Amino acid sequence: MAATTACATSGKEGQQPRLRADALRNRERIIAAARETMVEFGAEVPLDEIARRAGVGNATLYRHFADRLDLIHYVTLSVMSRTADRAESALAEESDAFQALRRFVHAAVEERIGALCPLLSDGVDRDHPELLAARDRLESAIEAVMGAARDSGQLRTDIAVGDLMVAITQLTRPLPGSGCMDFDKFVHRHLQLFLDGLQTPARSELPGAAATLEDLRRRS
């Protein structure tokens, strides 16, 4: 029992210990349930509810995650990693560069990328090496998708990654407690309108300068 408990600790400050297959499944179920419930109810959703959604006991949740901030840390890593996977897959599998961008943007909605801003609240170490590495990978993946669309002559040249991420975040940011039960069904429709506005030739001149992710970090 002691060995099982030791291998199930989160290990945020060091290398992640190798988990048994059943423990790994439980960990992934907890992270998935946390992502869903935090999007639905906000970051302060009771941990009991997360455990219930994951189909595990409270003790199992706490064996994997020391506290709420630890869980939020790994939920954030999960969202960023899965979103980067989506960007890389879209670029590798789509022959049309702008279609790859379209596919990524719609996929980012499914990964609830708009939920990251509310999760990264006070107390979360935004400069943790794991988060910095995940952020750099995500930024590079999105830059590659946009760069390919731009090089193909289909993406207007006066936008940058920051512009894209602001739009995705604003269009997909969760509305916990708002009662907008049908909100999600409009998201892909509105994203498609936004994507149409990114294509060349541009129909208008945008005010200001293209926003990078560094601009967003500097102003936050």
| Beta strand ranges found along 100-165 (DSSP E) | none
Cα–Cα distance, 177 to 215 (Å, whole number): 31
pLDDT surpasses 90 at 104: yes
Average pLDDT, the chain: 83
| CA 6 to each of CA 11, 27, 55, 61: distance values in angstroms, whole numbers, following the listed order | 10, 14, 22, 14
- 208's tokens: 């200001």
* H helix or E strand, kind and range, residue 145: helix 129-151
Cα–Cα distance, 72 to 34 (Å, whole number): 8
How does pLDDT run across 33-85, given as a tens digit for each residue?
Answer: 998 898 878 888 999 999 999 999 999 999 999 999 999 999 999 989 999 99
Instruction: For residue 197, give the nearest of 152, 161, 162, 164 by alpha carbon.
Output: 164
Count of CB atoms within 10 A of residue 180's CB? 11
pLDDT surpasses 80 at 86: yes
pLDDT at residue 69, rounded to an integer = 92
How does pLDDT run across 115-170, given as a tens digit for each residue?
Answer: 777 777 667 788 899 999 999 999 999 999 999 999 999 999 999 998 998 888 88
CA 140 to chain centre: 14
pLDDT surpasses 50 at 98: yes
3-class SS of residue 91:
helix
pLDDT surpasses 60 at 11: no
Share of the chain above pLDDT 90, in %: 49
Helices 97-110 and 68-93: crossing angle in degrees, nearest 10, is 160
- 27's tokens: 């960990």
Q: List beta partners, residue 155.
A: 199
